[in-house]
Amino acid sequence: MKVFKFGGASVKDAEAVINVAGIINLYSENLVIVVSAMGKTTNAMEEIAEAYFSGDKVNLDRLVSNVIDFHNTIIRALELPKLESIETIFNNLNQKFSQTPTTNFDYEYDQIVSFGEVMSTTIIAEYLNSINKNCKWFDARKIIRTSDKHREAKVDWECTKENVFSNIDAYFSARGNQKIAITQGFIGHNEKGETTTLGREGSDFSASILAWCLNAQEVIIWKDVPGVLNADPKYFNDCKKLNKISFREAIELSYFGASVIHPKTIKPLQNLGIPLFVKSFLNPEEAGTEIQSSLENDTLIPSFIFKQGQILISISPKDFSFIAEDNLSEIFEHFSKNGVKINLMQNSAISFSVCVNNKYNRLEELVLVLRSRFNVEVTEGVDLFTIRHFDSKASQFINQKGKQILLEQRTSETAQFVIQY
What are the structural domains, with CATH classification, of the chain?
A: 2-216 (3.40.1160.10), 303-420 (3.30.2130.10)
Asked if residues 403 and 419 have their Cβ atoms less than 8 Å apart, the reply is yes
- Listing DSSP states for 64-122 in one string gives HHHHHHHHHHHHHHTT----HHHHHHHHHHHHHHTSPP-S-HHHHHHHHHTHHHHHHHH
**How far, in Å, CA of 254 to CA of 246, rounded?**
12
Let me know how long the chain is: 421
pLDDT value at position 33? 98
pLDDT in tens, the chain (421 residues): 999 999 999 999 999 999 999 999 999 999 999 999 999 999 999 999 999 999 999 999 999 999 999 999 999 999 999 889 999 999 999 999 999 999 999 999 999 999 999 999 999 999 999 999 999 999 999 999 999 999 999 999 999 999 999 999 999 998 778 999 999 999 999 999 999 999 877 899 999 999 999 999 999 999 999 999 998 888 888 888 999 999 989 988 888 888 768 768 999 999 999 999 999 999 999 999 999 988 887 777 889 998 999 999 999 988 877 887 888 899 999 999 888 989 999 988 888 999 998 877 889 999 999 999 999 999 999 999 999 988 776 667 666 645 789 999 998 889 999 999 8
- Which amino acid is it at 271? N
Give pairs for 127-131: CB < 8 Å, separation 24+: 127/17, 127/21, 127/78, 127/80, 128/21, 128/24, 128/180, 128/182, 130/78, 130/80, 131/21
| Bridge partner residues of 221 (DSSP) | 5, 278
Asked if residues 172 and 179 have their Cβ atoms less than 8 Å apart, the reply is yes
pLDDT value at position 172? 95
pLDDT value at position 401? 47
Asked if residues 11 and 35 have their Cβ atoms less than 8 Å apart, the reply is yes
Phi, psi (rounded to 5 degrees) for 314: -115, 125
Instruction: Give the ranges where 146-239 is alpha helix by DSSP (H).
Output: 157-164, 170-173, 203-214
Asked if residues 282 and 224 have their Cβ atoms less than 8 Å apart, the reply is yes
Q: How far is CA 315 from CA 126, 283, 355, in A?
A: 55, 49, 12
Closest CA to 274 of 20, 69, 32: 32
pLDDT value at position 327? 83
Closest CA to 244 of 283, 302, 294, 280: 294
